[in-house]
Amino acid sequence: MWDALGIKITDRNDPYNNPMITKLRNDVAALMKKVGWYEEDGKWYYYYNSGKFAVGWTKINKKWYYFGNDGVMRTGWLQDNKNWYYLNDQGKMVVGWQFIDNKWYFFANSGAMKTGWIKSKKDWYFLNKDGSMATGWILDGKAQYYLNKNGDMAHEEWIKDTDPTGTNKGYYWLSKNGKFTYPYSGKWTKIKGTDKWKFEDSTGWYAKDETIKIAGVCYTFDKDGYLVEDK
């Protein structure tokens, strides 16, 4: 008679009272035990040496993952307490800037999605309540700010867009702290009968003896206010 492992049973009264058979069965059981990553029906689990699967936040090879109470590895957006996290297609928790569904988001080193003002490298950015990066005009408190196409806050520069009301197109000045406090629009003016250009605003002010940023490009003007062009 043979058992399920293909071992001949010689003692019908106590077929498993055999050290060799016991060792072999233990070895087979160890081989069959789920340890580490395991896929079942398209879902991923992580098993400890004890045979129990991971639940909740779990750090594996220096990366953070999240497993539900059923042991299934989660992907996509995850809300844990009051914070939002994002787990990529491999289940790894993301940090830093991430482009998700055609929008930019920023996640702290803890993985928590940020909102409001953040400073990244040398620039300031504003993240909406849903975490997405803002562009264009925003109202924060009583102050208006302008976020460029890349999301960085405009400051000490003229931007080209409509005014905060969305009514008048032109160039508008943003102060050093990024606030919109100067309502007068700027424009380029070509001096009649010449190839010379000036940049001025509706009050009569014009740029002279300085370099200023206009629509993302730095321009230099001489002491008479004429644009200094590269030759």
Would you state the pLDDT for residue 183?
Answer: 92
**What are the tens digits of pLDDT across the range 1-19?**
555 555 554 544 444 456 6
Amino acid at 4: A
Segment 44-64 mean pLDDT: 95
**What are the tens digits of pLDDT across the range 179-230?**
999 999 999 999 999 999 999 999 999 999 999 999 999 999 999 999 998 7
Segment 156-184 mean pLDDT: 95
